[in-house]
């Protein structure tokens, strides 16, 4: 396993890491014991970073992850969770106030069976008033950081420009990391355009969803996926191209996502121990550059096409 520095945090993270959204049955029903085995398999095979949120499964992911972490020494992993985006009884909600942030951190630590959060993100900033995040949310997190409950502060979201806006409007060094999803994968590498800015500001880069939320899979995108029909069809063709080459598109996607060493880590979300082991293996294999060129040529008409978060 390769390990890379996350900005100026001093944290050395595995180049591939575990996204715990699947533990909340966000994508499909899961088997709880298998979900716990997945976390254990990840840590036992070199992954040392796990990302979760109270929003995933409306606290289910944090609860199940907390069960899995009970038997794992705290020094074996770094953990990030989030504040700002929530949900209850099937209803989504957002609250970026200072009071809710402090309450949320305490709730998350209790569910996760920990007393310290290595990295705390403001979740999906595109749903916030960015000025509230700058003037209220982040200052509140800095106070909590001084109390020793949080090690580092980050932000997440789909539109990359909003990350830049927040970083530019806070004192230098305030934001330790950003988490970007669906912007460094086979069909969209737009995160590349922003890498120099993040590096200049010593902001660590976390990449998520190398399979573009299921677009880049052999079984195809789920029905709820917000991608256009044209993007769906061309990704399906790309999957067939890879299959004909005897090389799963999932493997190509993971290999591509971990290939950029400026990106500290890529989150893979799964509740399958077999799947996490397969992804760890793929992350250590050389990138098939010939097949990559063929897939990117096929995807040219929809390259960097994106969608709105929901």
Give Cβ neighbours of residue 200 (< 8 Å, ≥ 6 apart): none
**Residue 168 pLDDT > 80:** yes
Q: Over the chain, what is the mean pLDDT?
A: 96
pLDDT of residue 7: 97
| Count of CB atoms situated within 10 Å of the CB of 14 | 25
Residues with a catalytic annotation lie at: 56
- Whole-number Å distance between alpha carbons of 279 and 42: 10
Q: How many CB atoms lie within 10 A of CB 117?
A: 23
What pLDDT is stored for residue 126 in this prediction? 97
Whether the per-residue pLDDT at 88 is higher than 90: the answer is: no
Q: What is the pLDDT of residue 26?
A: 72
**pLDDT recorded at residue 27:** 75
pLDDT tens digits, 249-299: 999 999 999 999 999 999 999 999 999 999 999 999 999 999 999 999 999
Report whether 275 contacts 34 (CB < 8 A). Answer: no
137 has pLDDT over 80: yes
How high is the pLDDT of residue 29? 82
**What structural domains does the chain harbor?**
3-220+250-288 (3.20.20.100)
Which range of 86-90, 179-183, 218-222 scores highest in mean pLDDT? It is 179-183
Where helices occur in 91-216 by DSSP H, the ranges are 98-112, 130-132, 138-146, 160-168, 191-200
pLDDT band, residue 90 (cuts 50/70/90): confident
Q: Tell me: the pLDDT tens digits for 16-51?
A: 999 999 999 777 788 999 999 999 999 999 999 999
- Positions of E strands within the chain: 3-5, 12-14, 16-19, 49-51, 78-83, 85-88, 91-94, 117-122, 150-157, 177-181, 204-208, 265-269
């Amino acid at each position: 396993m390769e390990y890379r520095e996350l900005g100026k945090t001093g944290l050395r993270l595995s180049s591939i890491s575990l996204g715990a959204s699947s533990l909340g049955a966000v994508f499909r029903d899961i088997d709880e014991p298998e979900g716990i085995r997945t976390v254990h398999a990840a840590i036992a095979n070199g992954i040392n970073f796990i990302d979760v949120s109270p929003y995933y499964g409306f606290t289910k992911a944090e609860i199940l992850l907390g069960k899995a972490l009970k038997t794992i020494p705290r020094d074996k992993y770094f953990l990030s969770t989030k504040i700002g985006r929530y949900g209850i009884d099937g209803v989504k909600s957002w609250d970026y106030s200072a009071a809710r942030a402090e309450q949320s951190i305490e709730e998350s630590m209790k569910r996760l069976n920990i007393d310290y959060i290595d990295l705390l993100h403001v979740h999906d900033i595109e749903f916030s008033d960015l000025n509230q995040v700058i003037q209220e949310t982040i200052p509140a997190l800095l106070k909590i950081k001084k109390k020793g409950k949080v090690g580092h502060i980050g932000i997440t979201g789909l539109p990359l420009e909003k990350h830049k806006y927040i970083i530019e409007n806070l004192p230098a060094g305030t934001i330790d990391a950003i988490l970007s999803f669906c912007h460094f994968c086979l069909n969209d590498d737009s995160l590349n355009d922003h890498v120099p800015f993040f590096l200049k500001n010593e902001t660590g880069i976390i990449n998520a969803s190398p399979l573009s939320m299921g677009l880049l899979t052999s079984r195809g995108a789920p029905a709820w996926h917000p991608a256009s029909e044209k993007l769906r069809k061309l990704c399906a063709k790309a999957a067939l191209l890879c299959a004909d080459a005897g090389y799963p598109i999932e493997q190509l996607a993971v290999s591509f996502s971990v290939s950029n060493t400026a990106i500290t880590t890529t989150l893979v979300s799964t509740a399958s121990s077999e799947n996490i082991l397969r992804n760890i293996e793929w992350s250590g294999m050389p990138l098939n550059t010939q097949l990559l060129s063929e897939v990117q040529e096929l995807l040219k008409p929809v390259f960097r096409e994106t969608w709105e978060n929901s």
